[in-house]
Chains A and B, each alone.
Chain A
Amino acid sequence: MNHREPATGEVPLFEAAGLAKEYDDGRVPALCGVDFRISEGEFVSIVGPSGCGKSTLLNLLGMLDRPTAGTLRYRGKPLHQTGDPASYRAREVGFIFQSFHLLPTFTIEENVMIPTFGFPATRAEKRRRAKELLEAVGLSHRLGHLPVKLSGGERQRAAIARSLVNRPGILLADEPTGNLDSKNAGHVMELLLRLQREHKTTLVLVTHDHGVAAHASRVIRMKDGRIVSDAPGTSAP
């Protein structure tokens, strides 16, 4: 593997060993025993053709699914054995999806506030945080609009604001530009990179677009549920 090795004594953010996931009682293998490490603050792209297991890997990193074999350690602890999925998803990670997944009956501001339910902050504080983020993504004029009134690019920017509302250390993005035209895709990628730098988050981005993947400091290529290469991206230091 050609990934950045953590410095001696440094515990990697994620460390997978023999990580596997099968569906349909083992008839459909999605991930076939992969090993990798991801350090804090890295921007890692995972690329590969459809069905190669990249989204499955992202789901395991986000505790949206459980592995069928192997271990995935998060800050040195086995994630799926000891972690509380809801708390992990609420506090540690922010998700960005290809189809935005904004809730249609809530305004953009409300959508951004949804992950804050159960957080110990006043409603005014949560609202202020949502407004700040929507301002940061250039949507301060769209607070009260329903998602249906926004363009694809605007929806994805709202989804990025939502992913950051609880100040997570990790952003997991699944084809964030997959449903956007090239102009909007460029804007969204610029925004993601800027916010990743500003918020010092670890960004794991799944894409089949090599142009998008090239923004990363490291690119993991997958095929048939296996990692076939792990190399620095064009933005690698």
Chain B
Amino acid sequence: MSFLQVIFRGLWRRPVRTGLTVLGISIGIAAVVALVGMSSGYEKSVSGQLDAIGIDVIVSNMQGGIMPKAFDESVRDRIAELPGVAEANGTLMQMLSVEDAPMMVVYGREWGSFTWDQFKLIEGRLPRDADEPAVVLGKLAAEVLRKKAGDRIQVETGDFEVVGIVDGQSVLENGAVNMPLPRFQEVSGYDGRVNFINIRVPGGSSPAAVDELCRTIEEMFPGLRAVKADQVVGTSQGFQMARAMSWSTSLLALVVGVLGVMNTMLMSVFERKHEIGVLLALGWRRSRIMALILCESAAMGFLGGIVGVVLGSVTLAALQMAPAVRGFLEPDLGWGLAASAISIAVGVGVISGLYPAWRSSRLSPGIALQG
């Protein structure tokens, strides 16, 4: 008989109570997996999109919100003239309800700019020029909107023809509705305005030169932020806020988990006072009794962690299929997140078991044996 067997026999004494406690922890862990998975999935989607388009520097006016504010598109011309800029173009992005889809990302892209280059046509064609009232749908957007090339689509006040379906090489691009910039400015009421300037620097530019370019842009246009593409996710206040919110909500769920396990373990110690007295009488050290309680508690955390990761993954998979999320969110459930979630669950178990373990170590065997 091993110590591990003793631990699991202890948990098996009250299978329903152990099961409910494990379920309690698993709900907290599922919240961690779902919320953090969504937030990091969104970060991954944005990084993937920037990689796919090949943007080196992105200029926006975040102002602490998640959606950047629109600004005058003439900024693009002044940036394009700066040394160290190979190409600059403007994009107007909005999250809108499009027909039956509650929320879709809609882009107005400068016709002829590199932001159209990553599209691989699956069906139809790209717009012929900057003025054509035509949209190109990412393949996920086409699926959600149930459109094919040749169909009509209503975006805000405009009626457009779907001229093509494309593979955009990233989740955000595949979930987007794209049209020439002037057409989107017209129907969205943002005439002459954009909310992103996408910059490519000449090949071989040093990181220091790119940093210098960012500083120059921020000095020229107070209120705008110029960020290197690989730093967008790490430095954006919006992402930081989303990350903080997902972790703080998860923390609340975990606190509830800690209280649940602590309550179970305390009840278990009180109920098993007699058994603990027997073990002490049979020569078990107090440290071994403490280790037993802590390991039981940690084992419940471990089981709760595994169940929580499964529940969280199922939740993420269900969310991924939801029309409101599909197309602009790729939940990120990697081994790293699963391992972190299980480690957190074991930590919750150990922390919850500390006080009950200490209580168990204070029992006098003589008194405990009396009941």
Task: List the interface of chain A (C-beta within 8 A of B).
Answer: 59, 62, 64-65, 86-87, 89-91, 95, 97, 101, 103-106, 110, 113-115, 117-118, 123, 162, 166
Asked if A118 and B285 make an inter-chain contact with CB atoms under 8 angstroms apart, the answer reads yes
Complex CA gap A149/B364 in Å reads: 30
Interface residues in B120-156 by Cβ distance below 8 A to A read: none
Complex CA gap A38/B12 in Å reads: 43
Complex CA gap A95/B288 in Å reads: 19
Asked if A166 and B364 make an inter-chain contact with CB atoms under 8 angstroms apart, the answer reads no
CB distance from A158 to the nearest CB of B (A): 13
Q: Are A114 and B282 CB-contacts (below 8 A) given A105-B9, A105-B12?
A: yes
CB neighbours of B251 from chain A (8 A): none
Q: Within 8 Å of chain A (Cβ to Cβ): is B286?
A: yes
Complex CA gap A62/B288 in Å reads: 19
CB neighbours of A64 from chain B (8 A): 280-281, 364-366, 369
Interface residues in B9-55 by Cβ distance below 8 A to A read: 9-10, 12-13
Complex CA gap A220/B274 in Å reads: 29
Residue of B nearest to A107 (CB): B1
Query: Across the A-B interface, how many residue pairs have beta carbons closer than 8 Å?
Result: 63
Q: Are A90 and B369 CB-contacts (below 8 A) given A106-B9, A117-B288?
A: no
Interface size on B, residues (CB 8 A): 25
Q: Which of A59, A87, A91, A110 has the most CB of B within 10 A?
A: A59
Known: A90-B284, A162-B282. 9 other contacts (CB 8 A): A64-B365, A86-B283, A86-B284, A89-B283, A101-B369, A103-B278, A104-B13, A114-B284, A117-B284
CB distance from B310 to the nearest CB of A (A): 27
Asked if B283 and A166 make an inter-chain contact with CB atoms under 8 angstroms apart, the answer reads yes
CB neighbours of B161 from chain A (8 A): none
User: Quick one: which of A89, A105, A113 contacts B281, CB cutoff 8 A?
Assistant: A89
CB neighbours of B283 from chain A (8 A): 86-87, 89-91, 115, 117-118, 166
Q: Within 8 Å of chain A (Cβ to Cβ): is B279?
A: yes
| 22 pairs from A and B in contact (CB 8 Å cutoff) | A64-B281, A64-B369, A65-B364, A65-B367, A86-B284, A86-B285, A89-B281, A89-B282, A105-B13, A106-B1, A110-B1, A114-B1, A114-B282, A114-B284, A115-B282, A117-B283, A117-B284, A117-B288, A118-B283, A118-B284, A118-B288, A162-B282
